[in-house]
Structure 1
């Protein structure tokens, strides 16, 4: 079945946030074609021909066909990677590369599409050093931060800025006894630093003497701020201990948010701030693919409707 002016939703099989947005779009009679790029080529096919007006062709799933020139918007969430388990290692590497640059290149070049967010811009915004530099330029307060592979530089920074926390620059999944694990944010002392720091890049940051955390979700030009109260260094480690309060951002924050978003060409961003005893907001990071629906469930903020408006392309 060919779907007229669809919203494409690209994500893995289990994605409750995508599920609620799709239901909202269905309730508005906005057509949706959902797929996981990891399904290519087994149950997803692509046909794309370049013209002076961009690509024409189609994406085919077992139940839907999306004409490339008619795609209204694309909700890029958390697709799985390409996989070719039936091929040997060398052939699988070649096939994966062709899929990434072929299907991935077509998806990134739809002629009349609104991207939330564009996959290339997500990649740019996921570099924490770039995010911190952009945040400082936009006018946010940014805690003193060091990125280094030099153990002596790390020790000196910690002594100057105690207390200091270690934060991973990215968070690949480790498996211990087949259970997924991630490297957690943790406080670090100068005596904890040894020569293993020289093995790769690390990020150290002065710990904000915080009274609360703030999650700011920006959807288009709508801003949703939630204060998160807990006694945790990293509130993501125990959601059962969190308390939520919607609030309005202080003066200057919205303008800085938009400047940050415009720099990375994002239409969606999940920002994290720490609030100190003086009420100042300290920028920690922005996740261009962050979770947000649980906050609507906790606070009643109309975030699902805002996302559907953005994808529907309401004025």
Structure 2
């Protein structure tokens, strides 16, 4: 790893968190090359050789050139998808596949590069069932959860574990009359379950009788636990009603956090917990690309400095 090599930041144009990280790195004199993989190939190009000496070559944007053999770290956030609007359907599908496995494969194979996080590891960690299984192995308490396409199994689960929440297994773009919508977490009764459940996979989870929520952000070796108090079922539906405070972790939780991240090969994770009325913390999920900076002004936790340290490779 070169001490003078750049940090690659892979994200879309509208990413305020990445903007702040880049500003912090610039203030430290650390070179940064920002790119959106969705800009390939019209505003982004690569020329890479792979031989017995490893991976070498360049990546170019309209304003920057990166020597890929000297990249110190890659901050993978939320890049946009590949688009080839001038091609027909079949040609565009072929071009997207080549771009994904070409550019994507190069970005995933940089020598001696610290990934925050590696895009393949992000993909692995985004599967909720495997995340819940890893959480139990790491030692977290996990609410009883059912993944099913069987209406009878869903009904039986709700009757046994109610109250029960329905949660989407993933959240792709969903439009109603042209308007983007979010499939929200919602409580479900046994009488509401019908044959439509057989249409795809669903996740049902026992509702925690919670007193508060917690977002715990792990950045390298640093753990930033924040308690979130509100009266909402899902605190992400109205940020104006949230109150924040720094929360001490229960015994053993830090070890479990790092065990979970190690399972997936991650160095960053945004963990969500429900805290019940007896103070017990229940694991809900870990987002390997989650938002985090908005918590720093609310709590004073030095999260931006920790992320810049990690990308600069000063620690973590």
Q: TM-score range by the shorter chain?
A: over 0.9
Residue 97 of structure 1 is matched in structure 2 by 97
Q: Does 1:20 align with 2:4?
A: no
Greater mean deviation of Cα atoms: 49-58 or 66-75 = 49-58
3-state SS of paired residue (1:286): strand
For residues 53 and 242 of structure 1, what CA distance do their matches in structure 2 show?
53
3-state SS of paired residue (1:255): helix
For residues 161 and 122 of structure 1, what CA distance do their matches in structure 2 show?
31
Contact 2:230-2:241 at 8 Å conserved across structures = yes
3-state SS of paired residue (2:249): coil
Greater mean deviation of Cα atoms: 48-57 or 65-74 = 48-57
3-state SS of paired residue (1:250): coil
For residues 53 and 224 of structure 2, what CA distance do their matches in structure 1 show?
37
Residue 164 of structure 1 is matched in structure 2 by 164
Please list, as runs of the form range in 1=range in 2, the aligned pairs for 1:261-280 lying within 5 A after superposition: 261-280=261-280
What's the CA shift string for 1:210-234, capped at 9, x where partnerless? 0000000000010000000000000
Q: What 5-or-longer segments of structure 1 have no aligned partner?
A: none
For residues 97 and 224 of structure 1, what CA distance do their matches in structure 2 show?
38
Q: Does 1:294 align with 2:294?
A: yes
Please list, as runs of the form range in 1=range in 2, the aligned pairs for 1:1-315 lying within 5 A after superposition: 4-315=4-315
Greater mean deviation of Cα atoms: 139-148 or 167-176 = 167-176
Contact 1:212-1:276 at 8 Å conserved across structures = yes
3-state SS of paired residue (1:293): coil
TM-score in terms of structure 1 length: 0.98
Matched residues, number = 313
For residues 99 and 93 of structure 1, what CA distance do their matches in structure 2 show?
10
Contact 2:4-2:30 at 8 Å conserved across structures = no
3-state SS of paired residue (2:284): strand
For residues 251 and 53 of structure 1, what CA distance do their matches in structure 2 show?
47
CA shift for structure 1 position 250: 1.2
What's the CA shift string for 1:51-72, capped at 9, x where partnerless? 2232100000111100010000
For residues 115 and 158 of structure 1, what CA distance do their matches in structure 2 show?
41
CA shift for structure 1 position 4: 5.0
For residues 8 and 61 of structure 2, what CA distance do their matches in structure 1 show?
11
Contact 1:212-1:230 at 8 Å conserved across structures = yes
What's the CA shift string for 1:162-215, capped at 9, x where partnerless? 100000000112122332111100000000000000000000000000000000
3-state SS of paired residue (2:294): helix
For residues 298 and 180 of structure 1, what CA distance do their matches in structure 2 show?
29
Q: Which runs of 4+ in 1 moved over 6 A?
A: none
Contact 1:4-1:66 at 8 Å conserved across structures = no
3-state SS of paired residue (2:92): helix
